Structure 1
Amino acid sequence: MELVPHNPTDGVYPASPDYVHAMEIRGAGRLLFVAGTMGLDPAGKPGADLAEQLDLIWKNIRAILASAGMTVDNIVRLTSYLTDRADAEANASARTAALGGRPVPTTAVVVGTLEDGWLVEVEVVAAG
């Protein structure tokens, strides 16, 4: 599989270093669509704060990817849902660390969640 980032510079605003406008996937045999993943522990309890929830989210995403024989290196698209726009920078930092600095097309949206204690949810698309 080959990943080809597309970051045009003419006619569109520039992407920041932590994301790309588009990712072309060549030769992928599989696509995995991961539902919004919460910062919940194995018992379903949310992390006490944003940092703990982000840590749990990425542990959960790694476990889900592993069940399909994939890793975070297979992630080609990511959407974050935040309850507070003030959490955007911490979320971006956690994403950048989890992906080893590899930029992917990314969107963050501020929303309400189903439970008051849920601070962030992340969904991904992976290809392999």
Structure 2
Amino acid sequence: MPEAIMPTDLPADPAVNNTYSYGVRAGDTLHIAGMVSFAADGAIVGEGDIEAQAEQAMKNMKAVVEAAGGSMDDIVRTTTYLVDVADAPIASAARARYFTGPVKPTHTVVGVAALGRPAFLIEIEATAYLGD
């Protein structure tokens, strides 16, 4: 049976208002929704600052995987959505600070016209394997 993963250090309102879970664990697989730069109080971190937004999105991803009992080393796949693909090196630098294990997750970068709110510059979704 799938289990919703809703870390307390992420704001509940965006997920509730838009009918989603931050993470869903199904067996040994954890599906992590697109992480954006929400602070715990629901404020947007780093409006207009891709570096701050990338860092916050990665912090939020870490919170979800840890709430499910895993670590960043358990993430096996990511997709990064960027409003400006010229920001890809900044997103990669944030990834390098969080994915430090011996096996790096796969990564796809997608350029998009817009994200869920005009202030968002980056969104990162992921899949983790939480088996042995």
- After TM superposition, the score normalised by the length of structure 1 is 0.73
Say if 2:112 is the partner of 1:114.
no
How many percent identity over aligned positions?
33
Amino acid at match of 1:71: S
Q: Could you give the per-residue CA deviations for residues 95-122 of structure 1, whole angstroms, max 9, x where no partner exists?
A: 1221016422110001111211101000
- 2:90 maps to 90
Mapped to 2, the partners of 1:64 and 1:104 lie a distance apart of 16
Say if 2:29 is the partner of 1:31.
yes
- The runs of 5 or more residues in structure 1 that have no matched partner are 1-28
Cα contact 1:77–1:105 (8 A) shared by 2: yes
SS in 2 for 1:44: coil
Say if 2:46 is the partner of 1:45.
no
Q: CA RMSD in A?
A: 1.3
Higher relative contact order (CA 8 A, sep 6+): 1
Amino acid at match of 1:121: E
- The runs of 5 or more residues in structure 2 that have no matched partner are 1-26
SS in 2 for 1:100: coil
Q: Give matches, 1:36-75, under 5 Å.
A: 36-48=34-46, 49-75=49-75
- After TM superposition, the score normalised by the length of structure 2 is 0.71
